[in-house]
Structure 1
Amino acid sequence: MDYTKEYAQKLTTAEKAVSVIKSGDWVDYGWNMATVHDLDSALAARVEDLHDVKVRGGVLMDVPEIFKVKNPGEHFSFYSWHYSGVERKFAKEGFITYVPVRYSEIPRYCREDIPPIDVAMLQVAPMDKHGYFNFGPSGSMEAAICERAKHIIVEVNDKMPHCLGGFQTEVHISKVDAIVEMKEPYARCMPPARAATEVDEIVAKTIVNEIPNGACLQLGIGSMPNAVGSLLAQSDLKDLGVHTEMYVDAFVDMAEKGIINGTKKQLNPGRQVYAFACGSQKLYDYLDDNPACMAAPVNYVNDVRVISAHDNMISINNIVNMDLYGQVNAESNGLRQITGAGGQLDYVMGAYLSRGGKSFICCSSTFTDKSGELQSRILPILHSGSTVTDTRANIQYVVTEYGMVNLKGASLWERAEKLISISHPKFREQLIAAAEQQGIWHHSNKI
């Protein structure tokens, strides 16, 4: 069947497309690199006509035009599934809020729990000959959004990779109400990760030594997981697989060197499975029409039961800080939201449930604050208002530049002792004194 006539009938300008949006509407903006661009500009241009438009999105890579209008909070409010630096910067202005989530549950939220979506505006790859628009590398919950939306507008970006999958990776033109073609298409690329520090490399080496041939990998975002990926790409490991929330450049490097082939995976053998991808142009070129890679909705990819079905599942994630009880905060600085929960808990749990699996929480033992003072990431107890991303019972391995400890089965006394042993030496006496005051330091404990 030829869909060119229907395409032409639904093709319109961004200005006309957004004219359907009314004050009070819920509007979806897409996710990460597929956040709408021309439609955003057109909506911002209507600012004087609109009030209380509620916009959802997440992991923004550019500052939306609706953030730049005069008094944006009088016209728009933005609800983020996961903060990037963009949302974090603008949150203090009062028109942005964070939605606490388990990333794996967002498709269900969209189908059952949140208010109906009045208008969904999604960036997509060009339509194929069968009439489908592919969600590209950002389709983790877009199919669920389209199911619930009253009105669907697609913004066609011919620079977006066409990402193959198994299911829920596209929307058919028959479901689409309006089509807008980007005037100046481009792919949103992440800036290069900062160079790995000596601390990153020490932590990475510790973790890489724990990874067997045939393992299945999940890497979080950040310099430490990137350092692990770089070391793996230089290793003599073989037959590694990928089942990960976020697909990053390190996987491309490993695949091109033959270290990743997925032959030992229990599910989807031979395919690198991911919920969304973000990185360099090299990454997007690699994903484009590549049958070795499989985009899938996040309620499948991050399902603990699916994760744990892979033998030797290895999960590697960063944190903000943690306390002597083993409570992990990976998303806030006290009351200030700085990122999001994402799927970290799903992979911490899923990797431990996997046969031979291991979950690693990694961090530098310290950081330098804005005043130039050295601060410990291992705290007596989390700061007031901090989010507990991973509860104390969930944590398995914790790694800093001073070593690795396993908290599974450890008592409160043992947890304190183990975590202090991998803290920075400058803070150990302070942590011991705090542990004693909190009643979690035993007289037989030794450092």
Structure 2
Amino acid sequence: MFYRNHLIKFSYRCFSSESRINSFIKSKLMSAEDVAEKFPEKVTIGASGFTPAGYPKVIPGAFAQRIKNSKNPENFSINLYTGASTGDELDGVLARSGRLKLKIPYQSHKDLRKLINQGKVNFIDMHLSHVSKYIREGMFPPIDVAIVEACDVTSDGRIYLTNSSGMSGTYLSLAKDIYIELNEAHPLDMKGLHDIYLPEIHTGRPINIDYVDDRIGTPYVRVNPEKIKGIVLTNKYDSSPGFKKPDDASFKIANHLLDFILDEVEHGRIPKTLLPFQSGVGNVANAVLACIAQDNRFKSIEMYTEVIQDSIFDLIDSDKLRFASTTALTFSSEGQKRFHNQLHDLKSKFILRSMEISNNPEVIRRIGLITMNTALEADIYGNVNSTHVLGSSMMNGIGGSGDFTRNAYISIFL
């Protein structure tokens, strides 16, 4: 396994750095406005993106403008499937169009949240590991259009994704028509970070991942090139919020957690080499990684998670990150620039997986994770609420916290 993985990693470093605008791309170039005119009025969209990472940034806005300019905006109806929450240029603009009718499987945008809680947008709060299976087995309306962000596209239908894998593989495989935002803000060296694998449906076959750095798929999504109807050129970073440094309280909590983990090691319940970490979004989770970077008792860290934030750079700078598997790189603008500048050195330490793999209960349980996720409230019996405020008002959704918490070796809520 070690030999195979390192051959693959070496081959990914050998991708050509020549211009990405090949003859196939030239033949498909369109404006975002022209793409928006192609969409049916009643449309189900499958979009790339997982958190504000790797999501389409110009086509959704053009479609919202088409609705605004229409003499009969009431004729439009949008079902939107994504990987999780995305940026304002997708979740926000379509929510504000007034014609969004269904959103799955997760959200965190204030405009969209308000419409959901008002009952104006239907929302299905799902465990993220379930989404691909439900859609592939026809439990939701079929996908008319897939919109994905990519750093490269080839004439034989290979689509190389950017900062997230999310649900892109599933949506591209099922969509009738495909439109691509080719984002030139991402270097071609992004090719090779991804490991795209879609499990067969209706089978009990195992997913052959034993270690965080195992690769079982391809570095691209393969589609029928005839389904690619248009390509829009962009040059925009993800609009991720700036990285907020953890406060003193977060660091105190983090140090208590690290003492607990080391006590488990001392009593033989965790191996001395530790177990891979999963870290959710939030100040305390970021503080844990920062404390690990500063603590000499921790030498080598692995991560198997769904989101990686700027706090990963603390582990990189302290030379403690051995490997990180995720489905999204949710960096600030500064973090995105740094990652691109150091991509040649960092590429061998990262894998971006499809959401149905990063959040798969089988893999999570086999690897044996220490998971850290955020809760809204908890009781003394171990019941945790991470979705609703005062019992009835949706916050964001359960997302992947249920996938990781229910199957981890040690589950921690913050």
TM norm structure 1: 0.70
CA deviation profile, 1:160-185 (whole Å, cap 9, x unmatched): 462613324533474342333345x2
1:273 aligns with 325
Checking the alignment, whether the CA contact within 8 Å between 2:371 and 2:404 is kept in structure 1 is yes
2:32 aligns with 14
Which SS does the other structure have where 1:359 is aligned? strand
Checking the alignment, whether the CA contact within 8 Å between 1:314 and 1:359 is kept in structure 2 is yes
- Structure 1 stretch 84-93 or stretch 20-29: which is displaced more? 84-93
Q: What is the CA-CA distance between 1:327 and the residue it aligns to?
A: 0.9
Provide the C-alpha distance between the structure 2 equivalents of 1:307 and 1:54, rounded to a whole number of angstroms. Answer: 30
| 1:187 is aligned to 2:244 | no
Identity %: 20
| 1:156 is aligned to 2:206 | no
Provide the C-alpha distance between the structure 1 equivalents of 2:364 and 2:326, rounded to a whole number of angstroms. Answer: 11
The partner residue of 1:140 within 157, 166, 179 is 166
Superposition map of 1:7-156 within 5 A: 7-31=25-49, 32=51, 33-47=53-67, 48=70, 50-57=75-82, 58-62=84-88, 64-69=92-97, 72=98, 75-86=99-110, 87-92=112-117, 94-112=119-137, 113-127=139-153, 132-156=158-182
| 1:297 is aligned to 2:358 | no
Checking the alignment, whether the CA contact within 8 Å between 2:161 and 2:194 is kept in structure 1 is no
2:194 aligns with 165
Checking the alignment, whether the CA contact within 8 Å between 2:29 and 2:233 is kept in structure 1 is no
Instruction: State the one-letter code of the partner of 1:66.
Output: L
Q: What is the CA-CA distance between 1:107 and the residue it aligns to?
A: 1.8
| 1:204 is aligned to 2:254 | yes
Q: What is the CA-CA distance between 1:205 and the residue it aligns to?
A: 0.6
Q: What is the CA-CA distance between 1:142 and the residue it aligns to?
A: 0.7
Instruction: State the one-letter code of the partner of 1:105.
Output: H
Instruction: State the one-letter code of the partner of 2:93.
Output: E
Which SS does the other structure have where 2:195 is aligned? coil
Structure 2 CA distance for partners of 1:317 and 1:76, relative to 1, 3 Å:
closer
Which SS does the other structure have where 2:351 is aligned? strand
- Structure 1 stretch 145-154 or stretch 105-114: which is displaced more? 105-114
Where structure 2 has 5 or more consecutive residues not aligned to the other structure, the ranges are 1-19, 198-218, 263-271
Instruction: State the one-letter code of the partner of 1:328.
Output: V
Structure 2 CA distance for partners of 1:133 and 1:83, relative to 1, 3 Å:
same
Structure 2 CA distance for partners of 1:14 and 1:91, relative to 1, 3 Å:
same
Instruction: State the one-letter code of the partner of 1:106.
Output: V
Q: How many residues align?
A: 341
Which SS does the other structure have where 2:304 is aligned? strand
Instruction: State the one-letter code of the partner of 1:15.
Output: E
Provide the C-alpha distance between the structure 2 equivalents of 1:218 and 1:227, rounded to a whole number of angstroms. Answer: 13
1:224 aligns with 284
Instruction: State the one-letter code of the partner of 2:32.
Output: A
2:412 aligns with 360
CA deviation profile, 1:392-428 (whole Å, cap 9, x unmatched): xxxxxxxxxxxxxxxxxxxxxxxxxxxxxxxxxxxxx
Q: What is the CA-CA distance between 1:217 and the residue it aligns to?
A: 1.0
Structure 2 CA distance for partners of 1:227 and 1:89, relative to 1, 3 Å:
farther
Provide the C-alpha distance between the structure 1 equivalents of 2:195 and 2:61, rounded to a whole number of angstroms. Answer: 33
Structure 2 CA distance for partners of 1:54 and 1:298, relative to 1, 3 Å:
closer
Larger radius of gyration between Structure 1 and Structure 2: 1
Structure 2 CA distance for partners of 1:96 and 1:327, relative to 1, 3 Å:
same
Which SS does the other structure have where 1:180 is aligned? strand
| 1:177 is aligned to 2:255 | no
User: Comparing both chains, which one has the higher relative contact order based on Cα–Cα distances under 8 Å and sequence gaps of 6 or more?
Assistant: 2
Checking the alignment, whether the CA contact within 8 Å between 2:24 and 2:155 is kept in structure 1 is no
The partner residue of 2:378 within 297, 322, 341 is 322
Where structure 1 has 5 or more consecutive residues not aligned to the other structure, the ranges are 262-270, 353-357, 363-447
Structure 2 CA distance for partners of 1:195 and 1:4, relative to 1, 3 Å:
closer
Provide the C-alpha distance between the structure 2 equivalents of 1:348 and 1:171, rounded to a whole number of angstroms. Answer: 29
Which SS does the other structure have where 2:79 is aligned? strand
CA deviation profile, 1:304-341 (whole Å, cap 9, x unmatched): 22122225x21111100012322100111021111121
- Structure 1 stretch 55-64 or stretch 122-131: which is displaced more? 122-131
Q: What is the CA-CA distance between 1:225 and the residue it aligns to?
A: 0.4
